[in-house]
Structure 1
Amino acid sequence: MTVPKTGVLVLDCSEPEALARFYAALLDAEVGPADGDSDLLLLTGGAGVLLGIRRDLGHAPPSWPRPEDSLQAHLRILVEPDLLDEAEREAVGLGARPVDATQDSMGPEQRTDQRRYTDPAGHSFVLAAVRQSSGA
């Protein structure tokens, strides 16, 4: 029998409270402490834990896009295609910074179905237009 498990992406930063507020507002989630770890905050929503934010006093923001075109890791936030512009306004209003798509590996042709940003602590994320199924 396999032991039930779940995984969560954890972002390191020097000010986890502020970054947790950013993602909680963007993802319509609640923020709470992780049991047994005073440096970790967990964002939860209807589907359970969505994201972790951990204090790292020596954190250096990632560099993206990197010259060698490596994203390393990024958060992909799925949005209905007809709501992409609204999601972009919301993200930027909360403090996200757009990344110039011409600087990444796609070259000068920018895809219209996804938009790249960095969060207030410098982590990369993408708003991606994906038609979500209405069934479970």
Structure 2
Amino acid sequence: MALVTAAVVVLDCAEPEKLAHFYRQLLDGEPGDAATDLIEVRGADGVRIAFRRDGNATPPSWPRPEATLQAHLVLLVEDLDEAERRVVGLGGLPTETRGPAGPYEERSYSDPAGHSFTLRLSPPPAG
């Protein structure tokens, strides 16, 4: 039996309720565990991500060089155009929408709190 059975990525932000709503909608997820200052979302595919309240949180400035990336999520999607429409409709902002053509085409965004993430086209199944 594995010693570690699950992992949760936690992003610090000023308003965890709003960011949890964004990712719950984006990931077709459902609410997970919640505490006063920590809200978890469980995506339809088993992805777990949480948002911790930090009143001093400042958005990363990536891709500008004055601050570090802090964290970066890569979300695999089957249709980049449809996923992009959803991201923008939920309040995400494109930071770079055109990547290299091919099986790993990707597009970069920031969520409403400024955290960066990438939508990457899922490679077709082998066979």
Smaller-chain TM-score bracket: 0.7 to 0.9
The letter of the residue matching 1:111 is: P
CA deviations over 1:10-42 (Å, ceiling 9, x no partner): 1110100000000000000112334xx421111
Query: For 1:86 and 1:2, how far apart are their aligned partners in 2?
Result: 37
Q: Give 1:77's aligned residue.
A: 75
- Pick closer, same or farther for the CA change 1:92–1:8 going to 2, 3 Å: same
Cα distance, 1:2–1:98 mapped onto 2, change above 3 Å: closer
Unaligned runs of 5+ in 2: none
Q: Whole-Å Cα distance in 2 between the matches of residues 114 and 49 of structure 1?
A: 19
Moved over 4 A (4+): none
1:25–1:2 distance in 2 versus 1, CA, 3 Å: closer
TM-score normalised over the length of structure 1: 0.77
- Counterpart of 1:105 in structure 2 is none
Instruction: Name the residue aligned to 2:100.
Output: 111
More helix by percentage: 1
2:21 paired residue number: 21
- Rg larger for: 1
- Percent identity between matched residues is 52
Q: How does 1:1-136 map to 2 (within 5 A)?
A: 2-34=2-34, 37-48=35-46, 50-67=48-65, 71-80=69-78, 83-100=79-96, 110-112=99-101, 113-131=105-123, 133=125
- Where do 5+ consecutive residues of structure 1 fail to align? 102-108
SS at match of 1:127: strand
